[in-house]
Amino acid sequence: MPELQRLRADHAPALLAFEQANRAYFAASIPDRGDDYFTHFEARHAALLAEQATGACHFHVLVDTGADGEGEILGRFNLVDAADGTAELGYRVAEKATGRGLATATVRRVCALAAEEYGLTTLRAATTLDNLASQAVLTRAGFVPTGEEILPSDRPGLGYVRSTAEQDSFDDSAT
């Protein structure tokens, strides 16, 4: 069973492999990270860990650990710009891991962590208008649409919000 883990330095090789293996898949629905991201991956990873240490962001990976103890990353789930009880949720899941309810279950878990571990009360998220799968995940995880907005990529998107005080009364078996 995949396990949600807080991002650590030793995740770097598996995280890079995840990003490389899914680059084209991700670029179909969100802006590509660009070659520079991959060229300077180690420095970027170190910078994320330093940012996480300040409490301004909380980065997580969904790891499918094999019998050898090594783990393959199936997704990233991040809470960024944490301040005044709010944060922005962002996530991406490997193409091979879609359609199994992992994204919905993990977003729910991150919402619980946001409240229990990080003291956050409100989470925001956004997705492009054409990313129906992400919209479904957010809705199933208790987010409600707040309206259309322009995303940093200059693409039209849909904003969402969720209070972490809400209890998940959703049936995980239905995802």
- End-to-end alpha carbon distance in the chain: 15
- The string of pLDDT tens digits covering residues 102-139 is 999 999 999 999 999 999 999 999 999 989 999 999 99
- For residue 52, the 8-state DSSP code is H
Contact status, residue 57 vs residue 77, Cβ threshold 8 Å: no
pTM to 2 decimals? 0.90
Per-residue pLDDT reduced to its tens digit, 47-74? 999 999 999 999 999 999 876 656 899 9
Question: Exposed e or buried b for every residue in 43-58, given b needs 16+ CB within 10 A?
Answer: ebbeebbeebeeeebb
Is residue 3 within 8 Å of residue 63, measured between CB atoms? yes
Question: Is domain 3-174 annotated with CATH 3.40.630.30?
Answer: yes
Local structure of 130: helix, strand or coil: coil
Domain boundaries, the chain: 3-174
